[in-house]
């Protein structure tokens, strides 16, 4: 559990997990599939994104769509990937307080705020992904990266605790379904969510 290794949902568009690079026709189809998927989501919403629809839209066979992206969830993760990378850069190499050169607790707080924004931004897409496969979250590269990051920060803030486990628990409140429930059904604002996250962090601030 160190750097995020190639995992479920962690293929930016390069090759399959095996050694050699992707064949030319395969890469072309991957691109066409992603384009069609983005178009469908833009026009009809994430719920209309089905493997069949993509296959029909592109003229590519269903089997091929499944061969490139294992299931709907992974296709959705791929659509989220671009902004996800920008998000990762922001907290890994960006300016403080999100990036380095800020005290750990402050960074942690900034990260959770940024995460709240990120989930809210692409809530529909993320909710669709979670609906398609709730546990895919935990085998995705995006989650692994966030978890590693939070674990490091928690370790520095509270060395005597089980940082990895606490990191999971700090990320849990930001599952798409809860964010959806709070903001769409519950009428909550992102700022209220951020404030509550701050409260959750208070405990970590003071060593027991």
* Contacts to a second copy by CB under 8 A: 127, 130-131, 133-135, 137-138, 158, 161-162, 165-166, 168-169, 172-173, 175, 177-178, 180-182, 185, 188, 192-193, 195-197, 199-206, 208
Q: What is the smallest separation between the CB atom of 125 and DNA, expressed in angstroms? A: 14
Q: What is the smallest separation between the CB atom of 140 and DNA, expressed in angstroms? A: 15
Q: What is the smallest separation between the CB atom of 111 and DNA, expressed in angstroms? A: 31
- CA–CA distance, 11 with 194 (Å, rounded to integer): 31
71, interface contact from DNA, a second copy, none, CB < 5-8 Å by kind: DNA
92, interface contact from DNA, a second copy, none, CB < 5-8 Å by kind: none
Q: Indicate the burial class of 154 (C-beta count within 10 angstroms; 0-12, 13-18, 19 or more).
A: buried
Report the interface residues with DNA, using CB under 7 A: 16, 18, 20, 22-26, 28-29, 50-53, 60-64, 66-68, 70-72, 133
Q: 112, 170 in Cβ contact below 8 A?
A: yes
3-state secondary structure 30-95: HHHHHHHHHHHHHHHCHHHCCHHHHHHHHCCCHHHHHHHCCCHHHHHHHHHHHHHHHHHHHHHHCC
């Amino acid at each position: 559990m160190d750097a995020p290794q190639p995992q479920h949902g962690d293929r930016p568009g390069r090759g399959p997990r095996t050694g050699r690079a992707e064949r030319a026709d395969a890469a072309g189809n991957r691109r066409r599939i992603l384009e069609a998927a983005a178009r469908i989501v833009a026009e009809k919403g994430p719920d209309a994104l089905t493997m069949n629809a993509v296959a029909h839209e592109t003229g590519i066979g269903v089997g091929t769509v499944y061969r490139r992206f294992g299931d709907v969830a992974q296709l959705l993760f791929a659509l989220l990937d671009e902004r996800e990378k920008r998000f990762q850069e922001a907290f890994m190499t960006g300016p403080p307080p999100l990036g380095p050169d800020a005290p750990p607790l402050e960074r942690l707080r900034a990260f959770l705020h940024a995460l709240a924004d990120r989930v809210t931004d692409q809530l529909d897409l993320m909710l669709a992904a979670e609906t398609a496969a709730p546990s895919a979250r935990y085998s995705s590269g995006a989650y692994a990266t966030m978890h590693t990051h939070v674990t490091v920060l928690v370790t520095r803030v509270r060395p005597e605790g089980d940082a990895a486990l606490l990191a999971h628990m700090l990320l849990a409140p930001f599952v798409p379904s809860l964010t959806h429930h709070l903001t769409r059904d519950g009428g909550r604002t992102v700022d209220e969510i951020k404030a509550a996250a701050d409260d959750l962090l208070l405990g970590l601030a003071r060593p027991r």
